């Protein structure tokens, strides 16, 4: 083993606690040192991802973000500070990561991640981390990684919940879950709905952990983690490649990155989608359920939760079984989705909309809000 293939005494001291972990050791630490990771977005998710990957000893981190630091960023984008207001986020983030690990190499891409540079950037790195906040870039990153044969770790967050996706080459991609870019207006942004900074920290840290696991060879299949910080719950969904996927399927329609393909698009049911709110209050849900043509109410909690309390007439389809049980959910009638506090049900609502369910809405606050505001005889837990 050459000197270049060994850790220095400084590195052994710096990463001592990490090297002791099963599956890491000196060989694993060397793999991290040789790794090249591209982070898309130096914001609420990219901040903790970058900090923890730098601290873990990843050798080269690329940062792609065209924005500048604004004061509204600071409550959640912890890689930035008041002293970097107005600076490009790439420069601000690079300075912070260098303080964490002076030996880190950082490549700046202030032009962002675009159709024009996506293929070239993906080819330069071993893994891509998507922490962006818009559908067009998410789908561009997903498609570019499939076409380039590179793993993708994706994260998103809204209010007090989020998801972390790990998409490995030929093992299921982002479009296997969400085949079509949805209308940007169909899902509220953090600017509209709000978000806790600490929630970004939870999701971003989990993303960093998944990146490290992929780099160390600990992941062999694609997976999706759905995390509800308010409820203190997380669910792991195993993913498999969809033969009908437009990007990684057996007869893909996406064979190159075309600029027109990454503008927000409306599905054929856009009129119905615009008439159906993404979310309704429990009071509105009660009114709809008592009407002459009531919607189907789907409860996506677990069976043990359903045994504690339920809304009369609801159908139990636990969240992790929804993809396999789509045939039980009709597309031609209104559907309400409900869970404990509204986090899991929002994820299912978004998933169903991506699958063409135009008349589906989330019940805000879940059965807990139902008990508080509609029917106090429903037990709380």
Q: Which residues are catalytic?
A: 190, 339
* C-alpha closest to that of 49 among 163, 131, 157: 131
How far apart are the C-alpha atoms of 360 and 333, rounded to whole Å? 9
Taking the CA atoms of 57, 62, 64 and 70 in sequence, report the sign of the dihedral they define. Answer: positive
Cα–Cα distance for residue pair 42/132, rounded to 1 Å: 8
- Our CA dihedral for 365, 371, 372, 374, rounded to 10 degrees, sits at 100
Report the C-alpha gap between 50 and 31 in whole angstroms. Answer: 17
In the sheet that holds 296-299, the strands lie side by side as 279-280, 360-363, 335-338, 296-299, 315-316
For residue 242, give every residue at least 6 positions away whose Cβ sits within 8 Å of its Cβ, in sequence order, or none. Answer: 172, 176, 248, 249
Please name the residue that has the structure tokens 């509800």: 228
Side-chain half-sphere exposure of 10, counting CA atoms within 13 A: 4
Cα–Cα distance, 354 to 340 (Å, whole number): 22
Phi, psi of 75 (to 5 degrees): -70, -15
Give the whole-angstrom CA distance, residue 51 versus residue 200.
13
Q: Is 3 exposed, middle or buried (0-12, 13-18, 19+ CB in 10 A)?
A: exposed
């Amino acid at each position: 083993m050459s000197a270049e293939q060994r850790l220095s005494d400084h590195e052994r001291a710096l990463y001592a606690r990490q090297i002791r972990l099963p599956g890491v050791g000196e060989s694993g630490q060397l793999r991290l040192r040789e790794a090249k990771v591209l982070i898309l977005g130096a914001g609420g998710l990219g901040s903790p991802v970058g900090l923890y990957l730098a601290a873990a000893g990843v050798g080269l981190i690329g940062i792609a973000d065209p924005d500048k630091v604004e004061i509204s960023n600071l409550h959640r984008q912890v890689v930035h500070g008041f002293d970097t207001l107005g600076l490009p986020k790439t420069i601000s983030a690079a300075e912070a990561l260098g303080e964490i690990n002076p030996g880190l190499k950082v490549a700046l891409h202030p032009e962002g991640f675009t159709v024009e540079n996506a293929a070239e950037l993906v080819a330069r790195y071993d893994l891509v981390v998507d922490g962006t906040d818009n559908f067009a870039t998410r789908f561009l990153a997903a498609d570019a990684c499939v076409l380039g044969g590179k793993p993708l770790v994706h994260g998103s967050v809204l209010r007090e919940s989020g998801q972390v996706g790990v998409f490995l080459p030929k093992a299921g991609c982002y479009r296997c879950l969400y085949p079509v870019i949805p209308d940007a207006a169909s899902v509220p942004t953090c600017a509209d709905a709000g978000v806790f900074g600490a929630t970004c920290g939870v999701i971003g840290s989990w993303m960093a952990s998944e990146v490290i696991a992929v780099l160390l060879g600990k992941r062999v299949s694609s997976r999706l983690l759905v995390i509800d910080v308010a409820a203190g719950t997380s669910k792991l969904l195993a993913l498999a490649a969809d033969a009908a996927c437009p990007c990684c399927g057996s007869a893909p329609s996406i064979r190159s990155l075309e600029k027109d393909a990454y503008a927000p698009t409306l599905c054929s049911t856009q009129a119905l989608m615009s008439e159906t709110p993404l979310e309704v209050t429990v009071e509105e849900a009660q009114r709809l359920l008592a009407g002459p043509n009531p919607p189907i109410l789907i409860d996506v909690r677990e069976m043990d939760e359903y045994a504690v309390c339920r809304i009369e007439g609801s159908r139990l389809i636990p969240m992790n079984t929804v993809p396999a049980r789509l045939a039980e959910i009709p597309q031609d009638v209104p559907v309400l989705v409900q869970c404990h506090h509204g986090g899991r049900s929002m994820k299912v609502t978004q998933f169903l909309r991506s699958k063409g369910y135009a008349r589906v809405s989330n019940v805000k606050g879940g059965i807990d809000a139902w008990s508080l505001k509609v029917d106090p005889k429903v037990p709380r837990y």
